Amino acid sequence: MHLLHDPAAPAAAPIAFDDFLKVDIRAGRILAAEPFPQARKPSLKLTIDFGAGVGVKRSSAQIADLYAPEALVGRMVAAVVNFPPRQIGKFMSEVLTLGFPDAEGRVVLFQPDAEVPPGARLF
């Protein structure tokens, strides 16, 4: 199991609070989801609305094992919105959609447990 997926791994080295503040994690609402069969791991292409400040962004997410595209539309998710875009095959992923690995290593999406406005920042 990869260290990032190992629940028994110790906590990462301490960082300064200012370093945490550099990571911009926002809530967004999934507008569209479609299969991404060209990806190496089972993935979906997501279109996510982060509100007026960030706008609509696209993400490749390795979540096809647990989620059907049609079930994701309207769902709130969390994503890092200030990483540089990353080319994945012919697709440009603009944000990193966040999740946790389950016992089999499949990605379970991270989402707010109550309604928040698109673009709300995690703190």
Q: Which of 23, 96, 30 is nearest to 59 (CA)?
A: 96
pLDDT of residue 4: 62
Q: What average pLDDT does the segment 59-64 reach?
A: 96
The distance between the two most distant Cα atoms of the chain, rounded to a whole number of Å, is: 40
Q: Which of 1-5, 41-45, 98-102 shows the lowest mean pLDDT across its residues?
A: 1-5
Q: What average pLDDT does the segment 27-56 reach?
A: 95
The CATH architecture of the domain made up of 25-109 is: Beta Barrel (2.40)
Which position has the token pair 């309207």? 74
The pLDDT of residue 64 is above 50 = yes
Residue 7 pLDDT level (bands cut at 50, 70, 90)? confident
Percent of the chain clearing pLDDT 70 (strictly above): 96
Q: What average pLDDT does the segment 57-70 reach?
A: 97
Cα–Cα distance measured from residue 43 to residue 38, given in angstroms and rounded to the nearest whole number: 9
Strand-pair partners of 91: 88
- Single pTM value for the model: 0.92
pLDDT of residue 10: 93
Would you give the DSSP letter of residue 6? -
Cβ pair 62, 43 in contact under 8 A? yes
Return mean pLDDT, the chain. 93
| Burial per residue of 92-106, b for 16 or more beta-carbon CB atoms within 10 angstroms, e otherwise | ebbbbbbbeeeeeeb
pLDDT of residue 1: 44
